[in-house]
Amino acid sequence: MQDTKTSIQNWQDAILVYSRPRVIAMVFLGFSAGLPFLLVFSTLSAWLRDAGVALTTIGFFSWIGITYSIKFFWAPVIDRLPLPLLTRWLGKRRSWMLIAQCGIALGLLGLSMSDPLTQLQQITFFALLVAFSSATQDITIDAWRIEAMDKEFQGAMSATYVFGYRVALLVAGAGAFYLAAFQSWSFAYYTMAILVSVGIMTTLIIREPEHNDLGSRKLEEILERKAGITQKQNLLDQISAWFIDAVVSPFVDFFSRYGKQALIILLLVACYRISDITMGVMANPFYLDMGYSKTDIANVTKLFGFFMTIIGAGLGGITVARFGIMRPLLTGAILVAVTNLFFVWLATQEANIIFLALVVSTDNFSGGFATAAFIAFLSSLTSQAYTATQYALFSSLMTLPAKVIGGYSGMIVDTLGYQHFFLTAGLLGVPAILLVWYLSNTQTGTRNKPPDEVITGR
C-alpha cells in the first residue's frame, strides 16, 4: 500500500497548506464537533451531582455515550437520503450538517430550561437529542472533510480539526464550570447553545464538495442483479435494493479495492490507538498516586498538554503534505509506543513538576502527531461514494478494541504496578508499528479496478 506521489515538493508549500480556506474552516467545524461532547458527559455529570442527583442515576447517564459508538448504524442513511429542500439548497453534506447542528442547539436549550431534581426524564430526552445530533454531525463533518480536499491535505485538515476540537473541550469543560460558578448551570448551557452558531455559520459559508458516484452506481447495479432485483416494482424489492446500495455496497467496495490487504488494514485500524488509549485510562490516577497535586496536574496536562497536542498535530499535518501518509503514520506509531517508556522512567522518580511537564509534553506531542497522520490514513481508505458510512465504521473500529483492553488497565496496575503497566502499554503499540511497516512496503493491485472486474474476478 504505497502512497501516490503528492503535489507538494517542498517544506514551504507543505506549511502553506494551513492557509487554504477549507483547511481553516476545519478549525470552526472542529469546534462545533467538540462543543457538545463534554456537555452530555462530565460537565452534565457535574451539574447533576451539584443539584443533588444520586450517583447511581448519574452513572446511568453515561450510557448516552453509546450513541457515539454506534453512529455507523445510521451513517448509510446520511450517505443516501436527501433532505427535502435543504439538500437542493445546501448540498448532500451541508444539509445534514445543518440539521444536526440545529438539533444540538435545541437540545442544549432544552437542557438549560430543565430542572435536574424534578425533570430528569426531560433532561434524558434532551441529552439524547444532543448526543444523537452530535454523532450525526461527526459523520457529516468527517465526510465533508474527506471529500473537500485531496489526500495530501488530510493531515492538515485533521490538525486544524483537532485544534478546534480541543478549544471546544476547554470551553465546554472549564468554561461551563466558570459560567455555572458565576451565574448558574442553566446559564452555562444556554451560552453553549448560542455557541453552536459557530458551526451553523461555518456550514452556511463553506461550499459543498463535488460528489462522484458513477462508480458506486455501477457497483450497486451489479449487486442488485446478483440479488435478483431488476424491476423494483414492489416495496420488498425497493427496500432490498436500498439495503444493498446503502449497507452492502460500502463493504463490497472497500474489500474490492483492497483485496487481500483489506483484513490487514482493518487490523491496523483496530490496533493503532490501543497503546495511547490504554495508557490514558491510568494517567490521572498515576499522577495522583505519585504525589502530584491536583493543581499541578491541571496546569501541566491542560496547559502543556493542549499546546503540545496542537504542535504535534500541526507538524503531523505538514509531514503528511510533504511526504504522504505512510511515513508519518509509521513515525506516529513509533512515537506513541516509545513515549510510554518515559512514563516507566517517571514512575521511578520522586514527584517533580519539571519531569511531569517533560513526560506529558512528549506524550501529547506524539499523540497529536499520530492522530493527524492516522486520520489522514483513515480518510484515504474511504471511497467518495460511501464516505460517511465507511469512515463511521473505521472510527468505531478505531476505538472499540482499545476501550475494551483499557478496561483491564486498573487490574494490570494493581497486579504488576505502574512501571510494568506502562511497559505493557508500550508493547501494545508494537503490532501497529509492524502493520504500518508491512503495508508501506506492499502495494495492492485491486484498488483501481472497475466494479464489474472486481465482482466478476476478471
Residue 118 inside a domain? The answer is yes
Residue range 249-264: mean pLDDT, rounded: 86
Q: Does residue 246 sit within a domain?
A: no
Give yes or no for residue 401 having a pLDDT over 50.
yes
| Residue 231 forms part of a structural domain | no
pLDDT bracket for residue 453 (50, 70, 90)? very low
Residue 451 pLDDT greater than 70, yes or no: no
Per-residue pLDDT band at 366 (split at 50, 70, 90)? very high
- Whether residues 190 and 296 fall in one domain: no
pLDDT of residue 214: 55
Is residue 9 very low, low, confident or very high in pLDDT (cuts 50, 70, 90)? low
Same domain, 397 and 302: yes
Most confidently predicted of 199-203, 335-339, 426-430: 199-203
Q: What is the mean pLDDT of residues 426-448?
A: 79
Report pLDDT for 97. Answer: 97
Q: Are residues 309 and 426 in the same domain?
A: yes
- Cell 457497483 belongs to which residue? 219
Does residue 240 form part of some domain? no
Does 363 lie in the same domain as 446? yes
Distance CA 331, CA 354 (A): 26
Residue 10 is predicted with a pLDDT of: 65
d(CA 331, CA 344): 21
Confidence check: pLDDT of 4 > 70 = no
Domain boundary (178, 211, 244) is at 211
Q: Are 279 and 335 in contact (CB under 8 A)?
A: no
Q: Which of 211, 240, 273 is the last residue of a domain?
A: 211
Residue 172 has pLDDT above 70, yes or no: yes
User: In this predicted structure, which of 241-245, 313-317, 368-372 has the lowest mean pLDDT?
Assistant: 241-245
Mark whether 398 and 306 lie in a shared domain. Answer: yes
* pLDDT 10s digits, 106-157: 999 999 999 998 999 999 999 999 999 999 999 999 999 988 887 778 888 8
Q: Is residue 37 part of a domain?
A: yes
Rounded to whole angstroms, the maximal C-alpha distance in the chain is 75
Using alpha carbons only, give the angle 416, 421, 424 rounded to the nearest 5 degrees. 115
Let me know if residue 55 belongs to a domain: yes
Within a domain: 216: no
Same domain, 169 and 291: no
Question: 417 and 277 in one domain?
Answer: yes
402 and 282 belong to one structural domain: yes
Q: In terms of domains, do 159 and 281 share one?
A: no
Question: Based on the domain organization, do 22 and 122 belong to the same domain?
Answer: yes
Judge if 180 and 315 occupy the same domain: no
Mean pLDDT of 244-259: 82
C-alpha cell of 312? 504535534
Q: What CATH code is carried by the domain that includes residue 445?
A: 1.20.1250.20
**Buried residues in 229-241 as b, exposed as e (16+ CB within 10 A):** beeeeeeebeebb
Residue 274 pLDDT exceeds 90: no
Residues 305 and 417 in one domain: yes
Range of the domain at 126: 11-211
* Digit-coded pLDDT (tens) for 325-343: 899 999 999 999 998 889 9
Q: Please give the tally of structural domains in the chain.
A: 2
186 within some domain:
yes
Task: Reply yes or no on whether the pLDDT at 444 is more than 80.
Answer: no
Q: Is the pLDDT of residue 99 over 60?
A: yes
